[in-house]
Amino acid sequence: MKIIVNSEVRQNTLDEIQCELGPLFGQIDFLSVEFKSHVAESAIELVTPAIEWLAVCNDAANVFLSKLVAEAATDLYGNKSKIALILWDTAVEPIQILTSFIVKAVKNKTKISIGLPIPDEQFGTTLTIVNESEEFVAWVLSSYILQLDVIERVVNEIIRSNTPPAGLIQLSIRPDGGFVLKWMDRNQQEIHEVRI
């Protein structure tokens, strides 16, 4: 896994990332970059190929979403106690570890994104998470993991299209669990959007 951070992320945070996510993903490579922003906030981007996300999290994401449906706990805010029990099931441990890490980062006012290193490692396909709810973050992560094959296929189609991205592709989740991909094309510099 590659983790892109800005200079506002302190060494103790990098050590925590290694301790928390290293057991899941193995080797963690840190890349420090400077973002062109007037706001001095820490930023962390977890970037890894779909095959690695799937190897680590696919089974856990399947179990989490299956139990969510089986418990009729799809109302994320109305069923917090049921969802909390699902999150502590050992079968969903990778989702629980990532969820805890992301929620802690958001509560510490860190801009956190997850994504794929395509079109390239610096300007990938990213989903920024701003919600502090463990239930919501676990649902987003699981939905993301289970749709990675489709997301990756669509991104590759965008890259080969007549509207290739000028930079990163932004992901956002829809209320139904699908995703929207948004990018600016490098030819006409227009904003495009695809729903999956």
Average pLDDT of 100-120? Answer: 93
Q: Which amino acid is at 124?
A: G
Q: What is the DSSP letter of 182?
A: E
Give how far Cα 162 sits from Cα of 2, 79, 101, 124, 189, Å: 29, 45, 38, 18, 12
pLDDT tens by residue, 6-43: 988 989 999 999 999 999 999 999 999 876 655 558 89
Which pLDDT score, from 0 to 100, does residue 35 have?
63
Q: What is the DSSP letter of 185?
A: B
On average, the pLDDT of the chain sits at 90
* Residue 64 near residue 92 (C-beta atoms within 8 A): yes
* Start-end of H helices in 5-147: 11-25, 50-70, 80-87, 93-107, 134-146
Which pLDDT score, from 0 to 100, does residue 149 have?
95
Which pLDDT score, from 0 to 100, does residue 72 have?
65
Lowest mean pLDDT among 4-8, 39-43, 167-171, 177-181: 39-43
Q: Is 109 left (phi over 0), alpha (psi -120 to 50) or beta?
A: left
Which pLDDT score, from 0 to 100, does residue 99 have?
96
**pLDDT above 70: percentage of residues in the chain:** 93
* Residue 44 near residue 121 (C-beta atoms within 8 A): no
Lowest mean pLDDT among 10-24, 60-74, 153-167: 60-74
Q: Does the model's pTM come out above 0.75? A: yes
Average pLDDT of 160-174? Answer: 94
